[in-house]
Every structure is written in C-alpha cells, then in structure tokens.
Amino acid sequence: MGKALLQVDSASKNFGGLTALLKVTLTIEQGSITSLIGPNGAGKSTLFNTITNLIPLDSGSIYFQEERFDHLPPHMIASKGIQRTFQLLQVFRELTVLENVALGMHAKGNTGFLGAILRFPSMRLEEAEIIQRSKGAVRFVGLEAQSNMVAGQLPYGQQKLVELARAIVSGPKLLLLDEPTNGLSPSETQGLNGILQQLRNEGVTIFLVAHDMQTVMEISDKIFVLNFGQKIAEGTPKEIAESQEVIKAYLGREYIIA
C-alpha cells in the first residue's frame, strides 16, 4: 500500500436543487480495502456511479493510475481494470452460474464480429479461456458445485457470490462493491469478508460502500465518511470509531472495536 491507484479530486454532482456530492476528494491506495460509509442519502452510491461514469460529474476530476478517465464511457472504464457490483442484485436469473460469470469477460474479448460468425481459431481459443477463467472465479467464491445450476434457483446469499464472481473473473485492479453484505446472514457475511481479504492479499484493491459496521471495522485499512454529499472524515477504523463528528452524524455512539 501507499501508491495511489484511484484519485477523486473535488468531485461535485447536483440533481436539480439537490447537492449529491460537493467537492469530494479522496485517494484509494493500491492493495487496500477502503470503505465508504455515511447515512442514507449521503452520496455514497452517487460517488460510485460517477467513478464508473454511469452519472457524469458536474465538476471535478477522477484519475486511475494517474490517468484522468472520467470522460470515458463505462465500458472503456471497465476495460482499464475497474469492475463493480450494485446495491440491487443484478443476476441473470435464467442463466446458469457459469454463464452469469462468463459475462464478466466481455471487456476482455478480442475476437470481432466476423471472427464470431466464421468461428476463427482465435474465437475458439478465446471461448476456452473464458470458460477456464469463469470456472476459476466460480471456484474462488465457493460455488463450484452450483456452477451448472440456474442462478435464479440459488439462495440470495449465493446469488450475491455469483455477482461477485462475475466482477472478479476479468482480473480487475480495482473492485467497487456497493453494499456487498446487504441481506446476508452473519455466517454468509463472515464468508464474504474472508473472500474480500483473500482478494486483497492477491493484489486486488477494494473500495466498498457498507452499512455493516462490523464488516467495515473488521476488514478496512481506511474509511471515508460522507454526510450530505461532503466528506466529513477519513482515517483508520480506530480513528473513525473515535471521531466525535462521525459519531454525531452517523454512528450515534462510539463504536467499540473488538
């Protein structure tokens, strides 16, 4: 850690008369797990949407590996090594687990339309690689036994893992996770936390939005806090837990770190 991977500089976004983000500046260090917390409506998901340019900034700039990219379309941003999940589950319920995960390789495809039609050898090699990598991602999240099941038949917690596998199959450098533990049981949450820590150990930088303070305090190297679209604090879990401003705006009490 220590090297900046993602830099957000004075990011602002308004929706009519509502200020969703106001001059938010933050840095995500390579090899870290960083959490973004704050009350509902604080601007957390909006910040993620501006990073992936699903919503354009009104002002400010965003850099990835020191290259400004906030002007690029979402698919180009994904091709640079940034993948994400969403707060609302986005799984193709009629496809199998393996098929769902394979869709995450779309940004890595090199064979064009003509190659797909004529079944060039390069197309067959690419398909074999996609299948191999997809099986590896499914195995990584612990769903190997369910790989040929229709995703819609899985319990909610396993569907969340399908979504995660689809996000990691292309080998991202930065993974944006919006409420990854939402709706999970305590045991499922602990399992997911272990997967995220393993991803970090393998070199994936993780930036997550979360309301689950136990997860945030357990796995985060650094935490940013938003309130009414503004960054009000940043620091280690211990520093955030002891911040009177954060306690007043969000935690409601001093959070005891076990």
Classify 19 as helix, strand or coil: strand
Average pLDDT for residues 20-44, to the nearest whole number? 95
DSSP per-residue codes, 178-237:
ESTTTT--HHHHHHHHHHHHHHHHTT-EEEEE---HHHHHHH-SEEEEEETTEEEEEE-H
Average pLDDT for residues 135-143, to the nearest whole number? 95
Query: Candidates 3.40.50.1980, 3.40.50.300, 3.90.1580.10, 3.30.230.70; correct CATH number of 1-81+172-258?
Result: 3.40.50.300
Q: Model's pTM, two decimal places? A: 0.88
Give per-residue pLDDT as tens, 220-238. Answer: 999 999 999 999 999 999 9
Average pLDDT for residues 50-78, to the nearest whole number? 95
DSSP per-residue codes, 103-145:
GGGGGG----HHHHHHT-HHHHHHHHHHHHHHHHHHHHTT-GG
pLDDT band per the 50, 70, 90 thresholds, residue 121: low
Domains of the chain by residue range: 1-81+172-258, 93-169
pLDDT score of 1: 56
Give per-residue pLDDT as tens, 195-223. Answer: 999 999 999 999 999 988 999 999 999 99
Average pLDDT for residues 37-44, to the nearest whole number? 92
pLDDT score of 115: 45
